[in-house]
Amino acid sequence: MFLAYPQTRPYGPASMQLLPSLTSAMPPARVKQPKPNEPLVMHGAKLAASKVDKVLLLHALTKKTKQHLHDEAYSLLIAHYEREGILEPTPAEVAERILTTEGKA
């Protein structure tokens, strides 16, 4: 006589249905809000500085210097603030960007 035993360790797509906690969406990460008296640029600088571990990992993977990675992160932060209308580029920065883009073309 053949006895059917329940499968104790399911594999494949059926197992994902049994474990909804693994397939459910991850809750959104908490976003740090700036303090009421803190300038937004200072908040952004602190937020960028809190990502030091990621910078060290990128340094190990890309072999770029840490200073180069920090410069890239800072330029991305400034570009984001300019897109949002928080910061205005100075005339010197505009001229420098024009000269650097002409050199690349």
pLDDT at position 16 is 47
- In this structure, which amino acid lies at residue 101? T
pLDDT of residue 39: 65
Task: State the pLDDT at residue 88.
Answer: 83
Report pLDDT for 32: 62
Going from the first residue of the chain to its last (105 residues), give the mean pLDDT of each consecutive group of 10, the final group possibly shorter.
Answer: 51 48 54 63 66 68 77 82 82 85 68
pLDDT (0 to 100) of residue 60: 72
Chain centroid offset of residue 59 CA? 15
Distance CA 67, CA 1 (A): 73
Predicted TM-score (pTM) of the model is 0.34
